Structure 1
Amino acid sequence: MGSSFTEAEIDVLEHNGTRIARVRRAEDGDHRAWFAKNNEALRSAMYEHGAVMVKGSGLVEQAGLADLAEQIGGRTLEYNERSTPRSRVTGKVYTSTEYPADQSIPQHNESAYSANWPHNVFFFCALAAASGGETPVADSSAVLDRLPSALVERFAERGVLYTRTYRVGMGLSWQEGFQTEDKGQVERYCADHGIQTEWDGDLLRTRHKRPALAVHPVTGKKVWFNQAHLFHVHALPEAAREGLLEICGEDGLPRNAYYGDGTPITADELATITSAYEETTLAEPWSTGDLLMVDNLLTSHGRRPFTGDRKVLVAMTQREG
């Protein structure tokens, strides 16, 4: 690592190119002083490994997560242009995605479909589940390396077209997605971020194109960075997919993804992408009080099913410049 930690034990977990630097902070002493002293080492570890978990972070207050995130990762972000349900806890600290406990959340880079994606994501385990509930990660360059070159070339050339239909009672409403009741504010946001809009009364359809790959500005690594596999209708279970298509039609699906030129992404291509994520996924079990810091370009994240109560909070940041 570029910088050394003070008063900590460090080891690195690794699986098929994905790494988590596990830092065990000394339990005694002020955690705020320890984080201030080790800011540079934590940033360096995120660039080197993609994900860092501080075991026994000492963090207990919800508001303290935002302060730590800003101290290490830059300014905290509002969760705008939402694609999943989550609740504001305090300030710019949110719950992790609110999906049923018995379901997995697939690997994804946070808001990779948006022009306003976070550089870092900070997860704080305020309460570990009785079992399961890990936040697995996968190295975005390792995922890229496992994909067939012809598939990568198609995505690199065409990008990804994301389509969404916002309606009440099916997926997110536009009011929840854009956090406003003002259609004019939605129009301005979309115009500023290259999103096409189409209104049908209170129903909103959007379309926008984003790159499928990215290059990390600090490490220079080329990474797989999109949510085509998560937005695509084939990401849904067969019964849910067929039901939605029957009710909404393809043009009215809550969300879907195509190649950037509008041509379909096949089910086999999506299976190949999903397999690359599965082969590279690594997880460290949560303990209450742990903090997981993720470089959002270098590393994707997800969630495993769990039993019992679980409370994981999230803050997202962007570096200046």
Structure 2
Amino acid sequence: MTTPFTDADTELTEHNGTHLLRVAPNTADHRAWFSANAQALRSAMYEHAAVMVKASGLADEAELAPIAEEIGGRTLEYNERSTPRSRVTGKVYTSTEYPQDQTIAQHNESAYSQNWPHNVFFFCARAAETGGETPVADSAAVLRALPADLVRRFEDRGGVLYTRTYRTGMGLSWQEGFQSDDKGYVESYCADHGIETAWDGDVLRTRQQRPAVAVHPVTGRKVWFNQAHLFHVHALPEAVREGLLEICGEDGLPRNAYYGDGTPITADEIATIRGVYDDRTLAEPWRTGDVLMIDNILTSHGRRPFTGERKVVVAMTQREAA
């Protein structure tokens, strides 16, 4: 059972193994409420993975970081980027800046990196006119639903190999991806974080092998934790995929994913993974002022298309090692 909350009403929603706990504070002093309930919120994320605080009382994006730090640990810079974002203030960023008519597929934040966040905190500064939800899916439920032979292939073949090509004008440049225009710094960062590099003038190609499955360090739950289905070339619309392959060739794609030993992941396997995510996705409509907090290992998140103006900002945190 979730640790009792002080001055709040709670309601739990479940869909195919994915849970979302809604918490509604009954106080006007929102900063004091978050402080008083920090442990309860941490416990609720371990138990349910995703917690949404309705009508949180936050009115300024800058308020998100100190609340995130009190609950989740130190806030992180958004480095080793795979999508475009902008800094709002301090270590608070915009959510992924993709066109509003596009869906952002389910993913565990930065699962391709050695430096992924333990928690992600979202604050809805302006709710969209329609749509724009941030759906979640339980990573353990996803793992249980995937075909056992598919999971075994990923584990036996060394997880996932992520490949990227950074070039100006097609995807992210290496300067944006690593937040630096110093090639020496990028080389050092990659060497320290298990990333192979190859330069062709100002074009950078990288390869990094990461697990497909993880075990949560606190709960012990085994989960599906990777972005193979997001990086893979078959995640792209057919016309875009064919155009990129014609221009860049497979070795020059902005990003792609293979089994960890470099063997191809088939289009059917990617479709199976995405279908399991779709079946276990749960979404709560945003209202201006809501805060969503997730355990990034235990749950994935995405974004649905929307109309009108929408502003959701993000802070990512990491707990100190025990």
The residue type equivalent to 1:76 in the other structure is T
2:192 matches 1:192: yes
1:6 is displaced (CA, Å) by 1.1
Which whole-Å CA distance do the structure 2 matches of 1:62 and 1:167 have between them? 32
Match for residue 37 of structure 2?
A: 38
Q: Deviations over 1:159-198 (max 9, x none)?
A: 1000000000000000000000100000010000000000
Q: Deviations over 1:265-307 (max 9, x none)?
A: 0001001100110010000000000000000000000000000
Match for residue 257 of structure 1?
A: 257
Match for residue 63 of structure 1?
A: 62
Which whole-Å CA distance do the structure 2 matches of 1:75 and 1:244 have between them? 39
Q: TM-score, normalised by structure 1?
A: 0.99
Match for residue 123 of structure 1?
A: 122
The residue type equivalent to 2:132 in the other structure is G
Matched residue SS, 1:297: coil
2:229 matches 1:235: no
Q: Deviations over 1:188-246 (max 9, x none)?
A: 10000000000001000000100000000111000000000000000000000000000
1:104 is displaced (CA, Å) by 0.4
Matched residue SS, 1:56: coil
Matched residue SS, 1:209: strand
Matched residue SS, 2:197: strand
Match for residue 170 of structure 2?
A: 170
1:3 is displaced (CA, Å) by 1.7
Which whole-Å CA distance do the structure 1 matches of 2:213 and 2:58 have between them? 35
Which whole-Å CA distance do the structure 1 matches of 2:57 and 2:164 have between them? 40
Q: Note the 1:52-201 alignment, pairs <5 A.
A: 52-158=51-157, 159-201=159-201
Match for residue 214 of structure 2?
A: 214
Match for residue 270 of structure 1?
A: 270
Give the conservation status (yes or no) of the 8 Å contact 2:105–2:230.
Answer: yes
1:2 is displaced (CA, Å) by 4.2
The residue type equivalent to 2:58 in the other structure is L
Structure 1 unaligned blocks of 5 or more: none
Percent of residue pairs bearing the same amino acid type: 77
Give the conservation status (yes or no) of the 8 Å contact 2:28–2:57.
Answer: no
Which whole-Å CA distance do the structure 2 matches of 1:34 and 1:227 have between them? 35
The residue type equivalent to 1:37 in the other structure is A
Which whole-Å CA distance do the structure 1 matches of 2:81 and 2:136 have between them? 21
Structure 2 unaligned blocks of 5 or more: none
Which whole-Å CA distance do the structure 1 matches of 2:164 and 2:102 have between them? 22
Match for residue 49 of structure 1?
A: 48
In 2 relative to 1, CA 2–15 (structure 1 residues): closer, same or farther, beyond 3 Å?
A: closer
1:157 is displaced (CA, Å) by 1.9
1:156 is displaced (CA, Å) by 1.4
Matched residue SS, 1:41: helix
Which whole-Å CA distance do the structure 1 matches of 2:276 and 2:147 have between them? 10
Matched residue SS, 1:264: coil
Matched residue SS, 2:112: coil
Which whole-Å CA distance do the structure 1 matches of 2:2 and 2:288 have between them? 29
Which whole-Å CA distance do the structure 1 matches of 2:61 and 2:314 have between them? 10
Q: TM-score, normalised by structure 2?
A: 0.99
1:29 is displaced (CA, Å) by 2.4
The residue type equivalent to 2:136 in the other structure is V
The residue type equivalent to 1:68 in the other structure is I
1:62 is displaced (CA, Å) by 1.4
The residue type equivalent to 1:78 in the other structure is E
Query: Considering only aligned residues, what root-mean-square deviation do their CA atoms show, in Å?
Result: 0.6
Corresponding residue pairs, total? 320
Which whole-Å CA distance do the structure 1 matches of 2:312 and 2:2 have between them? 29
Which whole-Å CA distance do the structure 2 matches of 1:211 and 1:9 have between them? 38
Which whole-Å CA distance do the structure 2 matches of 1:269 and 1:42 have between them? 36
Which deviates more from structure 2 when the two are superposed, residues 28-37 or residues 117-126? 28-37
Which whole-Å CA distance do the structure 1 matches of 2:47 and 2:55 have between them? 22
Matched residue SS, 1:64: helix
Which whole-Å CA distance do the structure 2 matches of 1:271 and 1:51 have between them? 25
Match for residue 247 of structure 1?
A: 247
